[in-house]
């Protein structure tokens, strides 16, 4: 083989092996395990922390309120839907308090009159006319409305 | 000279045409060129195959889904970053359409169109459709977004380079650019919750249980029953994205 072809061949081999080495070093370990993506990212996303812990966790301390609510019109509601995420509260119930929303606007998010709300799906009130002087919770217990 | 003329002869033309046509017919049966296979929606039949169902007749537009989604998944609170949001559709009697979604519905809705002008009005909760043939996944240049084997579209935030191509590709507008992480973020169907045996946060907290998700391969799951008993429809079916977000009582005006 002539010398100039040999040199060209050698250069080619060096470039290709450099490329393969770099590709190996730069591709994440689990890339291509399941498809054209990093397989480990599935486990990473699955391990993210949960914020909304569910009604079961509330029962262990607030059993009377949970029972009262489960027999009322609000039985389908989750506790955290109104009170906010309880992931901190269940670990430090004394210091991490949950919110107790009691404004007319908050109740109105579901119960104010809006033609877009299906009439049979929810009880609706005109929150401007219906006893505007007081908060809803003065008369209606949200756990037993 | 005579040979050149003979290569254009009728016999040669017919022969070449026959070979070309034959090759095309044979090639069209191969999987990679098969239009029928290409148009079909793939589906995992071995494990779970997750889908979502939303009942518009039950949605009261309270915005709890949008609010809880932001908390569960650390979505920025600014009013233009959403993984899940609610739109209020109003069709006026003159046929014009009014679609609003103030802060994704988190602050509640008011109807600004006078009642006597309203032909029809309803809420449409929106989120990632978790398409079986996601356009967003197909355009990612680095393989940072993908469909898992159980049919959930995820983003690998360590691998995303933030080119935002997938945001443009999504026909449903379900992706946003995270301002702090500088990567694209989207609904994971609360992957971290369903893998722990829980429901997605938006579905657990929906007060009217208007939204459910579950395994489409399990004939006894709530979503399979929903699909059997309701007349469901997906958004933009003509795009053949293989959307797995099924709406009951969806109006044709919804885009």
Quick one: which of B74, B62, B178, B191 has its CA closest to B130?
B191
CB contact under 8 A, A116 and B63: no
Contact residues on chain A for B64, CB-CB shorter than 8 A: 81, 109
CB contact under 8 A, B58 and A121: yes
* A120-142: pLDDT as tens digits: 889 999 988 999 888 999 999 99
Domain boundaries, chain B: 2-39, 50-133+172-248
Q: List the B245-248 sheet strands across, edge first.
A: B211-215, B50-55, B245-248, B232-233
Strands B50-55 and B245-248: parallel
A32: left (phi over 0), alpha (psi -120 to 50) or beta: left
The C-alpha angle B230, B234, B237, rounded to 5 degrees, equals: 135
For chain B, 255 residues long, the average pLDDT of each consecutive 10-residue run is 66 93 88 74 87 95 95 94 96 94 93 93 96 94 94 95 96 96 96 95 95 94 95 93 94 89
* B176-207: pLDDT as tens digits: 999 999 999 999 999 999 999 999 999 999 99
Q: Please check the confidence at residue A74 and state whether its pLDDT lies above 80.
A: yes
- Alpha-helical segments (H) within B62-195: 64-72, 135-139, 165-169, 191-194
3-state secondary structure (DSSP) of residue A75? coil
Widest Cα–Cα separation across chain A: 101
Q: Which domains does chain A have, with CATH numbers?
A: 3-46 (no CATH), 51-100 (1.10.287), 101-145 (no CATH)
Predicted local confidence at residue B231, as pLDDT: 93
The C-alpha angle A24, A29, A31, rounded to 5 degrees, equals: 90
Contact predicate A98/A84, CB 8 Å = yes
* Best residue in B47, B67, B71 for a mutation probing chain A (most A CBs within 10 Å): B71
- Contacting residues for B138 by C-beta, under 8 A, at least 6 apart: B169
- Is the entire prediction scored with pTM above 0.90? no
Predicted local confidence at residue A72, as pLDDT: 93
Q: Please report how many Cα atoms fall inside a 13 Å half-sphere around the Cα of residue B188, on the Cβ side.
A: 27
Helix (H) or strand (E) segment spanning residue B118: strand B118-127
Predicted local confidence at residue B37, as pLDDT: 73
Evaluate the CA torsion angle A90, B206, A105, B109 in order and state its sign.
Answer: positive
* Best residue in B125, B148, B184, B196 for a mutation probing chain A (most A CBs within 10 Å): B148
Chain B nearest-CA distance from A8, in A, is 32
Contact predicate B192/B182, CB 8 Å = no
Kindly state the DSSP code that residue A49 receives in the 8-state scheme.
Answer: P
Contact residues on chain A for B148, CB-CB shorter than 8 A: 34, 42
Residues A34-48: what's their mean pLDDT?
Answer: 94
CATH of domain B50-133+172-248: 3.30.70.20
Contact predicate A85/A99, CB 8 Å = no
In the block, residue with structure tokens 């971290």: B192
CB contact under 8 A, B71 and A35: no
B99-138 as b/e, with b when 16 or more CB fall inside 10 Å?
Answer: ebbebbbbebbebebeeeebeebbbbbbbbbbbbbbbbbe
Quick one: which of B184, B99, B178 has its CA closest to B137?
B184
CB contact under 8 A, B108 and A35: no
């Amino acid at each position: 083989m002539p010398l100039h072809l040999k040199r060209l061949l050698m250069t080619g081999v060096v470039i290709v092996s450099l490329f393969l080495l770099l590709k190996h070093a730069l591709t994440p370990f689990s890339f291509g395990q399941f498809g054209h993506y990093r397989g480990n990212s599935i486990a990473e996303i699955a391990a993210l922390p949960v914020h909304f812990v569910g009604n079961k966790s509330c029962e262990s301390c607030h059993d009377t309120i949970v029972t009262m609510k489960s027999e009322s019109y609000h039985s389908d509601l989750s506790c955290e839907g109104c009170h906010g995420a309880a992931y901190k509260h269940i670990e430090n119930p004394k210091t991490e308090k949950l919110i107790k929303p009691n404004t007319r606007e908050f109740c109105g998010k579901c119960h104010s009159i809006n033609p877009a709300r299906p009439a049979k799906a929810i009880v609706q009130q005109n929150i401007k006319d219906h006893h505007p002087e007081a908060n809803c919770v003065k008369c209606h217990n949200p756990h037993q409305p | 000279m005579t040979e050149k003329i003979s290569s254009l002869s009728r016999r040669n033309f017919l022969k070449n045409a026959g070979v070309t046509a034959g090759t095309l017919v044979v090639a069209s049966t191969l999987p990679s060129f098969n239009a029928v296979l290409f148009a079909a929606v793939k589906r995992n039949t071995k494990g779970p195959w997750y889908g979502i169902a939303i009942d518009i007749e039950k949605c009261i537009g309270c915005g709890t889904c949008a609010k809880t989604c932001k908390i569960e998944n650390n979505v920025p609170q600014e009013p233009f970053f959403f993984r899940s949001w609610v739109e209020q559709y109003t069709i006026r009697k003159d046929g014009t359409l009014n679609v609003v979604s103030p802060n994704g519905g988190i602050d509640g809705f008011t109807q600004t169109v006078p009642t006597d002008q309203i032909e029809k009005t309803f809420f449409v909760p929106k989120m990632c459709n978790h398409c079986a043939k996601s356009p967003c996944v197909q355009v990612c240049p680095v393989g940072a977004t993908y469909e898992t084997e159980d049919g959930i579209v995820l983003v690998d935030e360590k691998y995303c380079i933030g080119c935002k191509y997938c945001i443009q590709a999504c026909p449903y507008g379900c992706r946003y650019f995270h301002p702090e992480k500088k990567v694209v973020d989207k609904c994971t169907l609360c992957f971290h919750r369903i893998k722990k045996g829980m429901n997605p946060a938006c579905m657990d907290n929906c007060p009217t249980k208007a939204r459910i998700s579950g395994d489409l391969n399990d004939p006894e799951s709530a979503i399979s029953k929903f699909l059997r008993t309701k007349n469901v429809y997906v958004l933009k079916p003509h795009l053949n994205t293989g959307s797995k977000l099924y709406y009951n009582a969806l109006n044709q005006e919804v885009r």
